[in-house]
Amino acid sequence: ANRRKLQAMARGKRVLNTFCYSGGFSIPAALGGAKEVIGVDISGPALELAEQNAELNEVADRCSWVEANAFDHLRDLDRLKERFDVVVLDPPAFTKTKDSIPGAVRGYKEINLRALKILSPGGLLVSSSCSHHIDPQLFIEIIAEAAADAGRTVRMVDFTGPGPDHPSLPAAPETRYLKCFWGMVS
């Protein structure tokens, strides 16, 4: 559901997809008419899959892949004054235990701060967390703090969870771990 949503919003946009793995957000953005999609992941084999997926979907001409640490690459893009219409943050879980929540909060704040710095005015931040111990309200607060530190204003336009292909169990709250913040930046 989140990937289809991005696909519907990508036409004519310059899109950066961090932690892109095999292109899960990159390919739908390109299929939706993005003029350029850059996928960043630390795993070379994952990027090979992303490139194959782009070729299979006939969008390889608009996709490029960067093997890099996403935190470092976001900093480099800011230093180079690169700007994007859409930045997707889809990292792996930053915490799997309650004890590591403070470190996860720092990590989420850091990547959101760096993403906000490279978004063009009117740009779209798509920020996900799959950490069960980061509840939706805390995640929104982290993004608000990152926006304040970046000197940016973010309007939350949507807050989504998993699609029907990712069901959760009512009796098991830990299965409702996926959160996706959609924000317009000025």
Handedness of CA 122, 37, 2, 106 (dihedral sign): negative
141: Cβ–Cβ under 8 A, 6 or more apart, which residues? none
pLDDT of residue 169: 87
pLDDT of residue 96: 86
Output the six-digit token pair for 152.
Answer: 């940016």
Instruction: Give helix 136-150 / helix 101-118 axis angle, nearest 10°.
Output: 50
pLDDT of residue 16: 99
CATH assignment at residue 129: 3.40.50.150
pLDDT of residue 4: 96
Percent of the chain with pLDDT over 90: 87
- Work out the pLDDT band at 172, boundaries 50, 70, 90: confident
* Span of 6-15, 110-119, 162-171, 173-182 with lowest mean pLDDT: 162-171
- Work out the pLDDT band at 140, boundaries 50, 70, 90: very high
80: Cβ–Cβ under 8 A, 6 or more apart, which residues? none
Structural domains counted in the chain? 1
Give the SS3 label for residue 62: helix
The DSSP annotation for 106-160 comes to HHHHHHHHHHHHHEEEEEEEEEEE--TTS-HHHHHHHHHHHHHHHT--EEEEEEE
Is the pLDDT assigned to residue 162 strictly greater than 90? no
pLDDT tens, 57-84?
A: 999 999 999 999 999 999 999 999 999 9
Domain span at 70: 2-185
pLDDT of residue 163: 80
> Of 20, 63, 130, 180, which is the active-site residue?
130
pTM of the model: 0.95
Question: Is 130 a catalytic site residue?
Answer: yes
pLDDT of residue 165: 80
Is the pLDDT assigned to residue 113 strictly greater than 90? yes
